[in-house]
Amino acid sequence: MTARYTVRPVRAHEWREARALRLAALSDDMAPVAFLTSYDEAVARPDGSWREQTEAASVDAGEEAGARQFVAISEDGTWVGTAVALVEEIGQRDYAGSVVDRRGGAVVGVYLRPEHRGRGVMEDVLDAVVGWLRARGLPRARLDVHADNARARRLYEKAGFRATGRQFASSIGPELEMATDL
């Protein structure tokens, strides 16, 4: 773990911090090629929706939860990065609405504040996400990345993800699937 940061799962009561970090992500210059949700859509969500989402992906949801959000927190307590692990079972609908045809995990909502990039922080967050999916006994983790988001692709490759050859058009443009065996 990077010495100046703590990486851990969120707690249910931390929905305000989770919301603030998500809104920061959706304000980032790369947001149009990184996230399926817009800032305007997210900021319009009621507090109850943020509470429910954070609780469902928190450590308080228990070991059998279908999601876990991890955050990186700097020494001064600022939430600087995040990623979410989703359990995917065959026949379920994934986060994009497609039917899951292979058991595994998905990695979504990856973000690191620009001033903290290049310090190994996101690698630690991805390690935590992949570790959680592995501990759940899942055989692989996958993610989708916009074809024009070279910075994200390099990060994912460094974390052990490789292009699967699956490409598709999403609401934000051409995307590539990347995966890693667990």
**The pLDDT value given to residue 96:** 80
Which residues, in sequence order, are bridge partners of residue 126? none
pLDDT at position 3 over 80? no
pLDDT at position 2 over 70? no
- Domain architecture of the chain: domains with CATH: 5-142 (3.40.630.30)
For 114-142, what is each residue's pLDDT tens digit?
999 999 999 999 999 999 999 999 999 99
**The pLDDT value given to residue 95:** 82
Sheet strands side by side (includes 104-112):
5-9, 67-74, 79-88, 104-112, 140-146, 173-181, 162-170
pLDDT mean over 169-179? 91
